[in-house]
A = this chain, B = another copy of it.
Amino acid sequence: MNHFLSIHDVADVHQLITSGIIAKRNPFSDQQMGRNKTIGLLFFNSSLRTRISTQKAAQNLGLNVIVMNVGQDSWGLEMEEGVVMNGNKAEHVKEAAAVIGSYCDIIGIRSFAELQDRDKDYAELVFQQFKKYANVPIVNLESATRHPLQSLADCITIEEFKVKKRPKVVLTWLPHFKALPQAVANSFCEWMNHMDVELVVTHPEGYDLAPQFVGNAQVVYDQDKALEGADFVYGKNWSSYQEYGRVLSQDPSWMLTEAKMALTDNGKFMHCLPLRRNMKVADEVLDGPRSLVIEQAANREWAAQAALKEVLLGMLEE
């Protein structure tokens, strides 16, 4: 079964990036591939880019699309096994996954971290259960710990805009008043570790990401130092992994400004969006020529198309 849950499901990352770039040039050339197949997109959480870009990519491939907001359109789902279901969740994932898998040829799922219990979030129960019971390929539309369609779009964007053979890519923590998941940052590190880049991660102390995601990246607690000579600055807020889910700092000096970006080597700015302006990043950066956030978001369509094509090809081989 060809799932797309993380980079570990990808046979050849560089071939996948190329596939995305090819889809961008010729979006409709594989339109027969999805014919009479249906992808179900299940949203446990809000979504804009993922919701629209995945629908669009699926339609480019000729797939039928069925979208469902879980718990709003349908019933709350129990994920734990062996429990007496006398609470507010009316259906068990064992049934729901198997049933949806009987209607849909592929299932895409978005389910965020709850940021209450690290072990629980990092066990990725929702995805594990769907993988176990749905009997069809599962596509990660952002899980508690990863956002691979975002990371693939990020790789495509860096590939398109890099001017050096081995660019310096800096992932920088940005201030935010709410506790946000580590998924995008984790996933970005994981994919960058497969790319020919110099990866630096910078954040206040206490915000270290899980080591399995950081990989070979250099970790620097001084943002200014990290930014020196950067070709790409990837901004993101996340809550603490060690003191799980806590907001340890809202230090406004970590906000990205043109003064900060001046430390880079004419660095480009990237962010997965949504983004709170003038809290995480100043207008001057976002509205200036170094911002790639729109190009990056636009590449979500081609990332999704490359991933779905991979899944469809895997189905043909079976």
The reply to whether the CB of A163 lies closer than 8 angstroms to some CB of chain B is no
The reply to whether the CB of A290 lies closer than 8 angstroms to some CB of chain B is no
> Which of these, B28, B47, B91, B279, contacts A73 with CB under 8 Å?
B47
Bound together, the chains give a CA A298 to CA B134 distance in angstroms of: 12
The reply to whether the CB of A315 lies closer than 8 angstroms to some CB of chain B is no
The reply to whether the CB of A242 lies closer than 8 angstroms to some CB of chain B is no
The reply to whether the CB of A64 lies closer than 8 angstroms to some CB of chain B is yes
- Number of identical monomers bound together in the oligomeric complex: 3
- Specify which chain B residues have a CB less than 8 angstroms from the CB of A52 in the assembled complex: 40, 66, 68, 100, 103-104
Q: What band does the interface of chain A fall in when counting residues whose beta carbon is under 8 Å from B?
A: 35 or more
Chain A 31-68 near chain B by CB (<8 Å), digits 1 or 0: 00000101010010011110111011001000010101
- With A56-B38, A73-B69, A99-B297 known as contacts, the answer to whether A91 contacts B275 (CB < 8 A) is yes
A87 CB, min distance to chain B CBs, angstroms: 9
The reply to whether the CB of A294 lies closer than 8 angstroms to some CB of chain B is yes
The reply to whether the CB of A86 lies closer than 8 angstroms to some CB of chain B is yes
A135 CB, min distance to chain B CBs, angstroms: 9
Most chain B C-beta atoms within 10 Å of own C-beta, residue among A78, A85, A102:
A102
Bound together, the chains give a CA A40 to CA B51 distance in angstroms of: 11
The reply to whether the CB of A274 lies closer than 8 angstroms to some CB of chain B is yes
Chain A 96-109 near chain B by CB (<8 Å), digits 1 or 0: 10111011100000
> Which of these, B38, B51, B177, B277, contacts A68 with CB under 8 Å?
B51
Q: List 18 other contacts, CB 8 Å, given A56-B103, A102-B297.
A: A40-B52, A46-B73, A46-B75, A48-B75, A51-B74, A52-B100, A52-B103, A78-B277, A83-B278, A90-B274, A90-B276, A94-B286, A95-B274, A95-B293, A95-B294, A98-B297, A99-B294, A102-B298
* Chain A contact residues, CB within 8 Å of chain B: 27-28, 36, 38, 40, 43, 46-49, 51-53, 55-56, 59, 64, 66, 68-69, 73-75, 78, 81-86, 90-92, 94-96, 98-100, 102-104, 177, 273-279, 283, 286-287, 293-294, 297-298, 301
